[in-house]
Amino acid sequence: MTNRNEGSDNYRDIIWINQGEGIRLIRCKDNIQFIVQLSKASRWRSRSYSTDVATVFRDYPALNLSCVAEAIASYTNRRLVQAKQS
């Protein structure tokens, strides 16, 4: 079951996650911003909010990886398909 609480482990709009490093990239519940979150004390805490990927990569160079870019593209494509089907 997915969740609309952005701090939840099973939040519905997780784009990319690295559990070992305790960092993930999500899309906000209103689909407006990318949010970088860090895991602290068994809870995900938002660290930055961005409307574009370039800013995420600028602020978090460790996320500027091909696997993250691919995850963003896949997520975006999935959302477009869902919107078309609605």
For the record, the structure tokens of 64 come out as: 């500027």
pLDDT confidence of residue 1:
55
The predicted model gives 22-42 an average pLDDT of 93
Flag the least confident range among 16-25, 43-52, 76-85: 76-85
The predicted model gives 38-61 an average pLDDT of 93
Could you tell me the residue range of the domain that residue 78 belongs to?
Answer: 14-85
Domain count, the chain: 1
Look at residue 65 and tell me if it is in a domain: yes
Look at residue 54 and tell me if it is in a domain: yes
For residue 40, pLDDT over 90 is answered with no
Which helix (H) or strand (E) segment holds residue 65: the answer is none
pLDDT category, 82, cuts 50, 70, 90?
Answer: confident
Which helix (H) or strand (E) segment holds residue 76: the answer is helix 66-85
